[in-house]
């Protein structure tokens, strides 16, 4: 069965410094991977997704993630944090061979950005 592990429950950065949110996955097959963001008291919004095309995926708001099959990782990065990036981030996996299966969510990483 597939699973997702977000290695940090909380990450704190200063505005203008790089962001790294780490995610490892376990999947028996070729997975589809997603990063979602949730701002306080809001629903979830898709940041980016990997679907077996390019291993470096670019998303909205300057975020990108790199799929590394050998490391079973899908870490999220941004070169320069902005105050508006403070939110909770979820790494998500979906296996393409299971029709109708919903997404499996990691437990989330809270990103704090200080000025």
Partner 1 sequence: NAGVTQTPKFRVLKTGQSMTLLCAQDMNHEYMYWYRQDPGMGLRLIHYSVGEGTTAKGEVPDGYNVSRLKKQNFLLGLESAAPSQTSVYFCASSRDPTLAYEQYFGPGTRLTVT
Contact call for residue 42 and partner 1 (CB under 8 A) = yes
- CA–CA gap between residue 75 and residue 35 (Å, rounded): 9
Residue with tokens 């077996």: 52
DSSP 60: G
**Which residue in the set 28, 45, 55, 114 belongs to the binding site for partner 1 (CB under 8 A)?**
45
**Which residue in the set 20, 46, 54, 56 belongs to the binding site for partner 1 (CB under 8 A)?**
46
Least Å distance, CB 31 to partner 1, is 9
Three-state DSSP state, 83: helix
DSSP 87: E
Nearer to partner 1, 81 or 92 (CB): 92
Contact call for residue 22 and partner 1 (CB under 8 A) = no
């Amino acid at each position: 069965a597939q699973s997702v592990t977000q290695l940090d429950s909380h990450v704190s950065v200063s505005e203008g410094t790089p962001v790294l949110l780490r995610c490892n996955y376990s999947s028996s097959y070729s997975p589809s991977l997603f990063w979602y963001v949730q701002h306080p008291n809001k629903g979830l919004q898709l940041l980016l997704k990997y679907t077996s095309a390019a291993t470096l995926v670019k998303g909205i708001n300057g975020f990108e993630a790199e799929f590394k099959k050998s490391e079973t990782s899908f870490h999220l990065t941004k070169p320069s944090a902005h105050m508006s990036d403070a939110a909770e981030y979820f790494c998500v996996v979906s296996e393409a061979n299971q029709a109708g299966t919903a997404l499996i969510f990691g437990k989330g990483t809270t990103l704090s950005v200080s000025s």
